[in-house]
């Protein structure tokens, strides 16, 4: 948004012409607009598992893809603008697009990036959320970024590079030992053993986690970094597996996939958990009380995932 439209003007405002329309975008009547093809990772994605804002994003992206927006969708709330929640900003930019008779070049570019890169990647992460999927998502973003003209591609790849934490060799190795391909799993185990054979950091020394330079020509996540030029350190998620056990895997006819805890590859669930712990700390003073507060809240949310009206409460 800052590159193509204008800087932020506050916690929930923008200074550019597109950003200034976001607040009242749902008041714009729908006009005839140019469709932009959408390629979702799963065309049959079930919107019932999504939040209200996520469902809106999916529905309006599909509407832009078909070139038709139903009146009921046009009247829905795209969500509150907040710079910490890019999803609702994307929702509102798409809503501005379907209500603009002659969209500017900047608006077309932003919406095209949303439809062609942001939406497919958002739902790919939503569907394949495990930590070993992270390097694959980074590589998919790199591949999708290559479809844009150079001046836009350079902007996109700059931000992809800055946030490519899952392209770190430790994370790529985790993905490799869980890969569906036996030859990739074998290579992953070999590289983990090789990394373990290198001198360890000195006791008390904090190892620097540095985002590696991406290979923007990669077609497979295994190629996303140059293994000959980046320092390769053993993944902490595999620290519980003895080297002898890894060596034994290499003697088998087919290297098995390694069982790894399914930690999320995105921070949404982590942020939600941090918020819950913070709230519990404000309401309870002892560890046991905080634990009980958190468990009770989780159980309550499972029983009542939504609480919109008094009737909803009485009928559930």
The predicted structure's pLDDT at residue 120: 94
Residues 160 and 243 in one domain: yes
Please list the residues that pair with 82 across neighbouring strands. Answer: 85
Q: Has residue 230 got a pLDDT over 80?
A: yes
Domain co-membership, 141 together with 15? no
The verdict on 211 and 154 lying in the same domain is yes
What is the pTM for the complete model shown? 0.82
The pLDDT of 100-109, averaged and rounded, is 94
Percent of the chain with pLDDT over 90: 61
Range of the domain at 257: 130-264
Same domain, 139 and 214: yes
pLDDT, position 310: 61
- On whether both 232 and 154 belong to a single domain, the answer is yes
Q: Is the residue at 3 inside a domain?
A: no
Q: Residue 265 has what pLDDT?
A: 84
Using CA atoms of 261, 268, 42, 171 in order, give the dihedral in degrees to the nearest 10. Answer: -40
Q: Which residues contact 300 (CB under 8 A, 6 or more apart)?
A: none
Q: Which of 59, 94, 127 is the last residue of a domain?
A: 127
| One domain, residues 118 and 185 | no
| Within a domain: 62 | yes
pLDDT score, position 101: 94
Question: Does one domain contain both 51 and 110?
Answer: yes
Q: Which of 4-13, 25-34, 102-111 has the lowest mean pLDDT?
A: 4-13
Residue after which a domain boundary falls, among 127, 150, 184: 127
In this structure, the answer to whether residues 58 and 116 fall within a common structural domain is yes
145 lies in the same domain as 193: yes
Strand ranges inside 175-292, DSSP E: none
Q: What is the pLDDT of residues 263-286, one digit of tens each?
A: 888 766 666 777 788 888 888 888
Residue 2 lies in a domain: no
Question: How many domains does the chain contain in total?
Answer: 3
Do residues 80 and 198 both lie within one domain?
Answer: no
Residue 183 has pLDDT above 80, yes or no: yes
For residue 33, pLDDT over 90 is answered with: yes
Instruction: Please say which residue of 100, 127, 154 terminates a domain.
Output: 127
For range 167-186, the mean pLDDT: 97
């Amino acid at each position: 948004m800052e590159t193509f439209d204008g800087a932020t003007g506050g916690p929930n405002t923008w200074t550019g012409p597109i950003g200034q329309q976001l607040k009242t975008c749902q008041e714009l009547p729908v006009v005839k607009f140019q469709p932009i093809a959408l390629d979702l990772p799963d065309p049959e994605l079930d919107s019932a598992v999504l939040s209200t804002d996520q469902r809106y994003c999916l529905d309006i992206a599909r509407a832009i893809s078909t070139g038709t927006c139903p009146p009921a969708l046009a009247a829905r709330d795209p969500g509150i603008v907040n710079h910490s929640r890019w999803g609702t900003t994307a929702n509102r930019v798409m809503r501005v697009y379907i209500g603009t008779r002659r969209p500017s070049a900047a608006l077309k570019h932003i919406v095209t990036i949303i439809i062609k890169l942001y939406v497919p990647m958002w739902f790919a992460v939503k569907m394949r959320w495990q930590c070993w999927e992270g390097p694959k998502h980074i590589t998919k973003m790199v591949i999708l970024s290559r479809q844009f003209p150079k001046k836009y591609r350079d902007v996109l790849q700059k931000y992809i590079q800055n946030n490519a934490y899952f392209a770190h060799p430790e994370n790529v190795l985790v993905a490799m030992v869980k890969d569906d391909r036996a030859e990739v799993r074998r290579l992953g185990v070999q590289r983990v053993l090789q990394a373990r054979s290198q001198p360890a950091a000195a006791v008390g020394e904090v190892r620097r986690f540095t985002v590696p330079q991406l290979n923007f020509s990669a077609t497979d996540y295994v190629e996303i970094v140059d293994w000959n030029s980046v320092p390769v350190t053993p993944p902490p998620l595999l620290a519980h597996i003895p080297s002898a056990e890894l060596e034994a895997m290499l003697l088998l006819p087919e290297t098995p996939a390694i069982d790894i805890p399914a930690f999320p590859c995105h921070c949404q669930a982590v942020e939600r958990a941090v918020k819950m712990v913070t709230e519990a700390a404000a309401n309870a003073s002892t560890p046991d009380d905080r634990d009980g507060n958190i468990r009770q809240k989780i159980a309550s949310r499972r029983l009542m995932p939504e609480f919109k009206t008094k009737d909803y409460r009485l009928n559930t």
